[in-house]
Chain A
Amino acid sequence: MDFSNFLLMRFEVILLAVILLLIIGEIFITQAKKDAVIHLAIFLFGIHTAVGFFNLDDGSLFGGMYRTNTLIQCFKSILNVGVLILLLQSGDWIQEKIMKHGRGTEFFVLLFSSLFGMYFMISSGDFLMFYLGLELSTLPVAGLAAYETTKRISSEAGIKLILSAAMASGTALMGISLLYATSGSIYFSDVITAISPDSLTILGFVLFFSGLAFKISLVPFHFWTADVYEGSPIAIASYLSVISKGAAVFILMILLFTVLKPLIGIWEKLLYIIAIATMFIGNLFALRQQNMKRFLAYSSIAQAGFILLGLIIGNQLGAATVIYFVLIYIFSNLAAFGVVQAISLQTGKELMSDYEGLYRTNPNLSLIMMLALFSLAGIPPVAGFFGKFFLFTAAASEGYYFLVFLAVVNVTISLYYYLLVVRAMFLRKSNNAIPYFKNKIYMRLGLLITVIGILILGIYSPLYEYIYELSINLQ
């Protein structure tokens, strides 16, 4: 047996190594120097991310349970970059709030485990691997959500997440079992050939879909989102909203575009309805949120609705626009969460009204927040505009003009609430505005990367062209 085959799993292997190193490291690092764990984790993960950019062969392992190709690597790298930014942004928080309780290493281990699960989920070649990846990616996050053990809402978030997740995975399993019943195999490659749109398959598909929709937080499977985001530590909310959601979108896309392609007649209708519902519900709820985390939670629900516009057409164009959008969305949302986190860490304030007059005391943070929100809303020249425009173009290419119309209506609604934040920061003056503070280096670095991303990703067209070429893999 040639072990070099296992190099195909480079992402997983290295990440596993990182996890193990951290666990081992914890043993050797003295209590006084606990902070070194953070630097170590970030450093190691940085290396991991960098290595991820190197090219890797296509191929599959374990009789097709695991497969990889350039597109999947691209996904993984995107997730890596997101997690790296997230680590940078939350480094200070971990140092100040978590390290005191001596639970820093676990945090990283859990986080990386979850990411590890996502790798497998994305790379899965059959439903079993998919299921394991899904669970591995969800369960540690539930633990992380409840990580601030002294806060009631943190525990509440954890319990809500795990119960909902269990429900979702139960439903998804039921669906998978039905699909298994009709197709006779849990291998994707077999399913493609065996599947046909009969009643049982449809039921199985819908149940299975709801399990994934839960992770992407599509309406009506989204209810956990807001509560969990609000209760969890911001780093975890941020993780859930970008990394977890991004990974789920990727795998959903892979499944829909390849495995479940024969059911396109079903799922395009399904996505149509759900897209509309998701956009509207997300936006309408976001309108009146005061808590920034909750606000971003609903905003991320709405964004998920937009993503479906790219998925619905089921071709290379759709895939490329979705990946591009997710990439941009990761940067934008991380920037927004980053600012929220920075402020929360310094002052403990998380309400929109606390942000009043922020520009006059902390101009840079406000500018970053504004750019992030504009990017989320889709205002040129920042990246979000390009992402959204291409999504709409994709949907329109198959004639979904009405859907695009509803989407643009929603863009307008969403602009309203994004502008509410801008209003608080820029337009208002306040006597008890958050005073000026300086962020530590990690946070600044993390925010800087997101800002650069927001500014560059849209205008720099070769990136999109690269993704577009990769997306051919999904045809």
Chain B
Amino acid sequence: MDILSLFILVPIISITVLLFTKNLRQARITAMIGSIIQLSMAINLVFSYFKERAVNDSLMVFTKDIVWFAPFNIHYSVGVDGISVALLLLTSIVVLAGVFISWKMFDLPKEFFISLIVLSIGVYGFFISMDLFTMFVFFEIAVIPMYLLIGIWGSGPREFSAMKLTLMLMGASAILLIGILGIYFNSDADGGALTFNILEIAKVNIPIEAQKLFFPLTFVGFAVIGALFPFHTWSPDGHASAPTAVSMLHAGVLMKLGGYGVFRVAMYLLPEGAKEWSWIFIILSVIGVVYGAFSAIKQTDLKYINAYSSVSHLGLVLFALLMLNKTAWNGAIIQSLSHGFMTALFFALIGMIYERTHTRNIAELGGLLKVIPFISTIYVIAGLASLGLPGFSGFVAEMNIFVGAFQNDSLFVRIATILSVTVIVITAVYILRVVGIMLMGPVKNVAYLKLERVTWFEKLGILLLLVPIVGIGVAPLWISNMILESLQPFIQGLL
């Protein structure tokens, strides 16, 4: 078994074991052990990657290729570069944190953890796939458990939200499907065989006309899950209704599939299409960036705030990807990671606050710093990270994006860049608004004085997420180098 396929296999084993668990205790411990194994595998992968990279300078390492559907030339083909490695690490951390946060999932615990792990299989598979078909399969595997997770364990208008989210994402994947088929049937342009393999297709010069036609489909297909304006509306409702761990995984990991897919498929395989269409998507993504931030200002539900902030932050990812240069791409990937950790952390904290106070309406909360200092302090830190404070990962990402975007010297892009830089101000406004209203101020409800202090598993979950945020923020060079190195061939493909 190769090192990457284990990422699929171990969760499957976890699920199999979970099927035989009897109660919450057994279920969560099984899930935890499974996730810890995953995390250690991911960490191991990082180190092995560096080792392998030193001796192997092919685009993807640890590749494994098995023919699956020969008539279609579909392969089960996996491999990673620095970008996937980073995202795999993100996933494994967020999943483990999610398990910790769901420590007290009393309702149907077994099913909950199974769905959660199925979701993670989809994500892992997506990140390691080098074959468009398997990539698409894993993409859908990742999306569908959301319906159950939100629908069964959610709150509020959970059925509606779950349905909306699922349908919009599946609708997007439907569009994506056409894009993928379009790429597939043009992959023989240079006389070779039709193929789904990304690396093979990248070597082919897909006809310009086809690129122009299929780029928008591929882009939109992926970008919907990355909350591209105006297709982002599944996200606020979905996040608001989802249980904590699911919001974490969804915003933290699942939404990254969008950016990653855009990058790996749309940009890499259809560069001419990207150049042709980038202007319209730049406009949309900048609207998303500013618009998400402005919307967040007016929200009163914590989860909505965070959801709109995700729209804004992920808008930056898409924006950066459209800049078509290394620095911005690097920023986009780091932003993906950083947003993944940050937003997962946020949702975790919101979940803890909700569990204690039974409200997410900031108007009803107040003075939490006094009653639950640990959670509140971390919330402030997460907030600061979110508004791009140096020393946290968000800053590194944003600066890369801005500097990268500024390398592009058309006036249009300049204006777009400057507009998107405004988020550093708007973000500050909505983050500080929440901090001011919810955490500071007098304690609004006497019942809050008796709130339960933070528990060990919650602390563990929080720390898991906080460490990488600070880690990337303080010493960005290693991760940035890992990513930059992997970006090189993509840039060459573009030029």
Contact = CB atoms under 8 A, between A and B. Distances in A.
Interface in B129-187: 133, 136-138, 140-141, 144, 147-148, 151-152, 158-159, 162-163, 166-167, 170-171, 174-175, 177-178, 181-182, 184-185
Nearest to A428: B159
A368 to B, nearest CB: 15
A468 B73 CA distance: 13
B176 to A, nearest CB: 9
B141 A426 contact: no
Given A427-B151, A461-B69, A461-B70, 13 more contacts: A381-B141, A392-B181, A393-B72, A396-B178, A408-B174, A412-B174, A419-B163, A422-B147, A426-B148, A427-B158, A461-B74, A464-B69, A465-B71
A6 interface: no
Contacts of A53: none
B1 to A, nearest CB: 17
B412 interface: no
Contacts of A320: 71
Interface string A69-90: 0000000000000000000000
B177 A392 contact: yes
A273 B208 CA distance: 30
Contact of A379 (B68, B133, B144): B144
A436 interface: no
Contacts of A389: 133, 136, 177
A404 B177 CA distance: 9
Contacts of B74: 461
A404 B152 contact: no
In the A-B complex, the 4 residue pairs with the smallest Cβ-Cβ separation, listed nearest first, are A408-B174, A396-B181, A427-B151, A380-B137
Contact of B162 (A380, A399, A427, A464): A427
A108 interface: no
B184 A426 contact: no
A335 B68 CA distance: 26
A385 interface: yes
Interface string B447-466: 00000000000000000000
A411 B170 contact: yes
B181 A416 contact: no
Interface string A337-377: 00000000000000000000000000000000000001000
Nearest to B182: A401
For chain A, give the interface size range: 20 to 34
B163 A468 contact: no
Nearest to B134: A380
A409 B148 CA distance: 22
Interface of B: 68-72, 74, 133, 136-138, 140-141, 144, 147-148, 151-152, 158-159, 162-163, 166-167, 170-171, 174-175, 177-178, 181-182, 184-185
A301 B184 CA distance: 29
B112 to A, nearest CB: 12
B174 A409 contact: yes
A461 B134 CA distance: 13
A223 B12 CA distance: 44
A317 interface: yes
Contacts of B151: 422-423, 426-427
A405 interface: yes
A401 B181 contact: yes
A203 B233 CA distance: 50
A415 interface: yes
Contacts of B137: 380-381, 385
Contacts of B148: 422, 426-427
A161 to B, nearest CB: 35
Contacts of A399: 185
Contact of A380 (B140, B152, B158): B140
Interface string A449-475: 000000000000100110010000000
B167 A415 contact: yes
A189 interface: no
A130 interface: no
A460 B104 CA distance: 38
Contacts of A5: none
Contact of A461 (B68, B136, B178): B68
Nearest to A388: B177
